[in-house]
Chain A
Amino acid sequence: MSPIDFFVDLFNPDLAFLVKALAVAVMSSVVCGVVGTYVVLRGMAFIGDAVAHAVFPGLAVAFVVSGNLVLGGMIAGVLTAVLVAVFSQNRRIKEDSIIGIFFVAAFALGIVVISQAPGYAGSLQQFLFGSITGIPDSDLYVVGGTAALVLLAVLLLNKEFVTVSLDRESARAMGLRVFWLDLVLYVLVTLAVVISVQTIGNILVLALLITPAATARLLTDRLGIMMLAAPIIGGLSALVGLYLSWSWDLPTGGTIVLVLTGVFLIAWLASPRQGVLARLVAKRRIHPVEPTPARPAAVLPASAAAEPTPVPPAVVLPASAVAEPVPVPPAVVLPVSAAAEPISPESVLQEARP
C-alpha cells in the first residue's frame, strides 16, 4: 500500500478508527518524547517501566466495571508513583528495590482483577500489546487534554526539573522541594504512559518513553533541542509505524516500536558526533592509515551523505554539530517526515546563542 492509499484511508468514514488511532498514537508519542527526555537524562528508565506496569490494575478495574480506561490507569499509576516516592524515603532499602516490589505487585493485582472479567484472555492481550480499534471518542478528548496538561507542566517546571537533575543537594540548599518535584515528575511519566497504553500496549510503552529521547540524546548536546527532537522522532515513528502496520497488517504497537528502534540504530551509527561512523571518519582523519588520496570519501559513502559537515576530530563547537538535521536515511523515510524534519536548523541557531 502506498502512502497515498493510507492517506485516503484516513479520510474514509468507514475507517474512522484509523484517524483516532493515529491521533492518539502521535499525541502519546509526542508527550512521551518530551517526558522521556527527563527519564533518559536522569536514568529513570526503571521507574518508567514500573509505572507502565503499575497502570495495569487500574485499567483492569476500569475494564471490569466498564469505567473509563484512561482514568483508571491514571489513578493506579499515580498511586504507585506516590507509594514508590514515599517508601523510597527509607534509606535502608534502595529505590530500585521499592520499585521492583510495587510494580510487580501492581501488575499481579491487575491480572487477578482482570481474570474476574468474562473472556479476559482477549482483553488481556489488547492491554499488553495495544490495539488501534475501539478507541472511543471520549478517549480522544481525555488523551488530548492530558497531553496538553503534561506539556504545560513540563514548560512551567522545566527550570526546577533541570536544577534537581543536575545536582539534588544544591537544589535542596536552594530551597527547592526536591521530593515534591520528583513526585510531580513521576506523575507526569505516569500520565504519559497511561495515554499511550491503549495503542502501544502496556509492555511496549516503555519504548515510547525511552527510545525517542535516547535517540535525540545521540544527536545533540542541548536540552532544548533534545526536547524538540524526541517528540518529533516519536511522532513521526508513530505515523510511519501505523502506516506500515496498516498496509502490511502487522500489530501496531510492535511495528511502531520497531520503527523507533530502527531510527535509534541509525542515529547510533550516523549521529554527527557520537555516531559510530563519525568516529571512524574522525579516526581516519587523524591517522590516515592507507594512502587513498583519490577517493577519500569513498570509504563510507552512506555516512558521507548523511553528514554534510565534516566533524573536526577533537573538540567541536556546539553550533556546528547540531546544525545537522536528524539523519534518517531517505530509503526508510516517507515523504511526510522529510517535510517535517527541517525545523531543527533554525531552532538550533536560536538555541546556540547564549
Chain B
Amino acid sequence: MTAALEIRNVAVDLGGRRVLHGIDLSVACGELVAVVGPNGAGKTTLLRAVLGLQPVGIGRVLVEGRPAKPGRPAIGYVPQRHEFAWDFPISVANAVATGLSGQLGLFRRPSAASWEAVADALDRVRLTDLAGRPVGQLSGGQRQRVLVARALAPRPSVLLLDEPFTGLDMPTQELLAELFADLAHEGRAVLMTTHDLLGAIDGADRLALLNRTIIAADTPAHLVGDPAAWAATFGVGEDSALLRMVAAAAA
C-alpha cells in the first residue's frame, strides 16, 4: 500500500493564530481514515490545506507525491451538505457533471466520456434511478450521495469527506458508512472528518484524534483502549459520557 496522501509536519496559521501544528498523517490507497475532534479543532482547516485552498505555514502536503494545489483531479472533495445550493434548478446528473468542470477546462462542454464518468459515479452511489430528478427534491441521504458522486466523477484516487453524517438518521448513516468503506477498499485513499464517534470507531480503518495537532492516530481497536488520548482531544474529565461510550465500543 502506497500513501496517496501525505501530510508532513504541517502547521497552519489563520489570522495570525496558529490553528494547526505538527500534523503528520498519511492515508494509503485502500484505507479509510476518520479525523475526529471537538469543534474548532481544525478539521476543516486540515481538509482545506489538503485541497491546497489553505496555504500551510510550514511542512508539506503531498497528494500522490506532488504538492497540494487546487484543481488536481487526483482529489475528490465532498463538502458539508449545507455548502451546496440545493434550491438551484438542476438535475442530479447535471449536478454530478459539474464535478468535471475543473478538469474539462474553460469553454469546453462535457463530452461523451464525461457523461460516461457521470453515469459511473451515479451508478457507484446507486443514484442512477434519480439521475433526472431536480436536486431540491432529494432527501438528506440522497443529497449526500449526490455530493459523493460529484466528487467521484473525475475518478480521484483521494477522497475527502467533510462531516458527511451530520443531520442524518442512523440507518442512512450506516448505509453511507458502508459506501465510504467500500470506496476506500476499492483502492482509494479516503479521509473523513466526523462528529459521529461511534461510526468512526466502527467503520474507519484508522482514527486520528485531532485538536490543533494529532493527539493520537491508530486503528480504532487500539485507540479505544487509550481513554487518556480521548480525554485530551476533547478536553473532557474522567467521568465523561464520551469516555464511557468509547469504553463501551471497546467491549
Q: Which residues of A contact B (CB under 8 A)?
A: 41, 156-157, 159-160, 162-163, 165-176, 217, 220-223, 226, 315, 318-319, 352-354
Contacts and interface: CB of A to CB of B under 8 A. Distances in A.
A157 B98 CA distance: 12
B89 A220 contact: yes
B113 interface: no
A163 B103 CA distance: 12
A175 B53 CA distance: 9
B95 A166 contact: yes
Interface stretch (B33-41, B78-86, B219-227): B78-86
B170 interface: no
B89 A169 contact: no
Nearest to A171: B101
A315 B137 CA distance: 8
24 contacts: A41-B89, A159-B110, A160-B101, A162-B88, A162-B90, A166-B88, A167-B83, A169-B53, A169-B77, A169-B79, A170-B77, A170-B79, A170-B99, A172-B70, A173-B51, A175-B70, A175-B71, A175-B102, A221-B137, A222-B134, A223-B88, A223-B90, A315-B137, A318-B134
A80 B29 CA distance: 49
A168 B89 CA distance: 17
What size tier do the contact residues of chain B reach? Answer: 35 or more
A160 B88 CA distance: 14
Contacts of B93: 354
B104 A223 contact: no
A93 to B, nearest CB: 16
A248 B57 CA distance: 69
B124 interface: no
B88 A41 contact: yes
Given A159-B104, A318-B132, A354-B91, A167 B109 contact: no
A165 B85 contact: yes
Interface string B184-202: 0000000000000000000
Interface string B41-60: 00000000001110000000
Given A166-B90, A318-B133, A174 B107 contact: no
Given A159-B110, A170-B150, A176-B71, 6 more contacts: A171-B101, A172-B51, A173-B71, A175-B71, A222-B134, A318-B134
Contacts of B106: 156-157, 160
Contacts of A168: 83
Given A159-B109, A318-B132, A354-B93, A166 B71 contact: no
Contacts of B89: 41, 217, 220-223, 226
Contacts of A221: 89, 134, 136-137
Contacts of B99: 170, 174
A308 B103 CA distance: 44
Contact of A165 (B51, B69, B88, B136): B88
Nearest to A352: B132
Contact of A174 (B71, B88, B131): B71
Given A163-B98, A167-B79, A174 B132 contact: no
Contacts of A175: 69-72, 102
Given A41-B89, A159-B98, A173 B84 contact: no
Interface pairs A-B: 10 shortest CB-CB: A175-B71, A174-B102, A221-B134, A163-B101, A163-B98, A175-B102, A173-B77, A173-B51, A175-B70, A167-B84
